[in-house]
């Protein structure tokens, strides 16, 4: 249930002079009296414990766009959540008020800058829905669609085509429901005959997604997963550098953000579970070091249960420069290590906070430890000296959530 008074207050504080806010307030007053939106506004909000972003779609009476979009976000996560909720097949005119939003909008949408009578806008549509959807049967492994999806099995192919592969009914169903920028769906003959297959494929068609029916043999040629998954999808990936070329932060945050940093987590399944935990705990983003497992590895994608694709992910060759830049920007950086003297529950810290977890076997590197504001440990009963990295991340992040719940 959207609290429209809270939405208006949020918009007025962010951009009090924008005409669209005034028009929306007038339309809301009419809505309060009549119970109907005139014109037919659509409103989307982002944020877990507090409102962090708002997207207002105002009907646009032109052949080149469906709506004018007023988008306001305070964190990387809130922006991505809003962009993912933007309807497929919908063309929006986005007035870009902040440079960081302009940089990120291309991760989910594709389009260009256009000039109108009221100024410059980004005219965009969700990736994967910019052309007429195609539904057909593919019988040959050399078909262009199959060949393209097959390339996504390798790390080189993923980054060359800026797409990664997700596999299985539940994760594909969730990706469609979450609004991920899906490029292609492949599904087997058997899946199309099942009740859950029929439901998902019907939804995909209404979402204007291209879907191709293939045999088990063709599906088996694009993935090494066994048993062969009944459905797979290619999704546009976003994995920007955390630091810009001038070593400044390429990361937008507010004063209440929490960031998870992972250093050299080697097992893709462990990394996926860690990302799933971070997503559930409401982190603003996750920063990953290049020396660890790749987040777009199929095992990581599967274990993350939808976090890969929905959660903002950033990369860095080494986390030490990133930590130093965060601290210079006012962040409190906590390094988790079993050898620390300070305990989690007795340590005082302030937001914004970054939690750093390390390799499953060796923990945090010496360089990372030296860069952190403070090192802490999770108290444990005798018999165990460490936790699975995903479990440890959950304990740490949910303690932050408990302390700063509003």
96 in the same domain as 20? yes
- Position 251 in a domain: no
The segments of the chain whose pLDDT lies below 70 read 17, 405-406
Q: Which of 310, 238, 300 is nearest to 274 (CA)?
A: 300
pTM: 0.94
Two structure tokens written together for 327: 């601290």
- Position 354 in a domain: yes
CATH number at residue 174: 3.30.1330.30
Domain boundary among 126, 161, 190: 126
- Position 382 in a domain: yes
57 in the same domain as 83? yes
CATH number at residue 69: 3.40.630
List the alpha helices (DSSP H) in 211-359. 216-222, 268-280, 298-304, 307-310, 319-328
262 in the same domain as 384? yes
322 in the same domain as 225? no
322 in the same domain as 220? no
- Position 317 in a domain: yes
Which residues lie below 8 Å from residue 117, measured CB to CB, with a gap of 6+?
Answer: none
289 in the same domain as 169? no
Domain boundary among 126, 156, 184: 126
Round to whole Å and give the CA distance between 122 and 104: 12
CATH number at residue 276: 3.40.1280.10
Which residues lie below 8 Å from residue 362, measured CB to CB, with a gap of 6+?
Answer: 264
Which residues lie below 8 Å from residue 311, measured CB to CB, with a gap of 6+?
Answer: 77, 80, 275, 278, 279, 283, 285, 286
Domains contained in the chain, number: 3
271 in the same domain as 169? no
121 in the same domain as 66? yes
pLDDT attached to residue 405: 67
- Position 245 in a domain: no
- Position 253 in a domain: no
231 in the same domain as 139? yes
- Position 248 in a domain: no
163 in the same domain as 111? no
Mapping DSSP onto H, E and C, the string for the chain reads CCCHHHHHHHHHHHCCCCHHHHHHHHHHHHHHHHCCCCCCCEEEEECCCCCCEEEEEEEEEECCEEEEEEEEECCHHHHHHHHHHCCCCCCEEECCCCHHHHHHHHHCEEEEEEEECCEEEEEEEECCCCCCCCEEECCCCCCHHHHHHHHCCCHHHHHHHCEEEEECHHHHHHHHHHCCCEEEEEEEHHHHCCHHHHHHHHHHHHCCCCEEEECHHHHHHHCCCCCCCCEEEEEECCCCECECCCCCECCCCCCCCEEEEECCCCCHHHHHHHHHHHHHCCCCEEEEECCCCCCCCHHHHHHHCCHHHHECEEEECCHHHHHHHHHHCCCEEEEECCCCCEEHHHCCCCCCEEEEECECCCECCHHHHHHCCEEEECCCCCCCCCCCHHHHHHHHHHHHHHHCCC
278 in the same domain as 295? yes
Domain boundary among 79, 95, 126: 126
Q: What's the domain range around 395? A: 258-403
163 in the same domain as 183? yes
- Position 243 in a domain: no
Round to whole Å and give the CA distance between 52 and 235: 26
């Amino acid at each position: 249930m959207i609290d429209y008074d809270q939405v208006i207050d949020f918009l007025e504080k962010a951009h009090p002079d924008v005409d669209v806010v005034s028009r929306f307030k007038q339309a809301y007053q009419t809505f309060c009296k009549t119970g109907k939106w005139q014109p037919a506004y659509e409103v989307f909000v982002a944020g877990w414990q507090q409102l962090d972003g708002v997207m207002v779609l105002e009907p646009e009476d032109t052949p080149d766009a469906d709506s004018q979009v007023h988008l306001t976000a305070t964190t990387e996560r809130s922006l991505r959540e809003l962009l993912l909720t933007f309807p497929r097949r919908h063309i929006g005119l986005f007035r870009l008020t902040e440079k960081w939003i302009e940089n990120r909008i291309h991760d989910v949408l594709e389009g260009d800058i256009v000039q109108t009578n009221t100024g410059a806008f980004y005219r965009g549509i969700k990736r994967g829905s910019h052309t007429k959807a195609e539904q057909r049967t593919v019988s040959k492994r050399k078909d262009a669609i199959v060949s393209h999806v097959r390339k996504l099995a390798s790390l080189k192919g993923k980054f060359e085509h800026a797409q990664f592969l997700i596999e299985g009914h539940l994760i594909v169903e969730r990706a469609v429901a979450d609004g991920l920028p899906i490029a292609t769906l492949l599904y087997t003959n058997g899946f199309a005959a099942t009740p859950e297959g029929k439901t998902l494929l019907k939804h995909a068609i209404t979402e204007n997604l291209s879907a191709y029916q293939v045999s088990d043999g063709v599906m088996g040629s694009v993935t090494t997963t066994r048993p062969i998954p009944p459905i797979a999808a290619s999704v546009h990936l976003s994995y920007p550098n955390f630091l810009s070329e001038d070593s400044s932060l390429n990361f937008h945050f507010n004063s209440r953000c929490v960031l998870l940093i992972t250093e050299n987590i080697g097992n893709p399944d462990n990394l996926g579970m860690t990302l799933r935990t971070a997503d559930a705990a409401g982190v603003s983003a996750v920063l990953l070091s290049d020396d660890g497992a790749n987040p777009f590895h199929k095992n990581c994608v599967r274990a993350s249960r939808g976090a890969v694709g929905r959660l903002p992910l950033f990369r860095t060759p080494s986390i030490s420069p990133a930590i130093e830049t965060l601290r210079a920007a006012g962040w409190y950086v906590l390094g988790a290590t079993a050898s620390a003297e300070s305990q989690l529950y007795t340590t005082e810290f302030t937001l914004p906070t970054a939690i750093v977890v390390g390799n499953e076997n060796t923990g945090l590197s010496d360089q990372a430890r030296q860069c952190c504001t403070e090192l802490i440990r999770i108290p444990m009963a005798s018999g165990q000296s460490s936790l699975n990295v995903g479990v440890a991340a959950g304990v740490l992040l949910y303690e932050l959530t408990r302390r700063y719940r509003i």
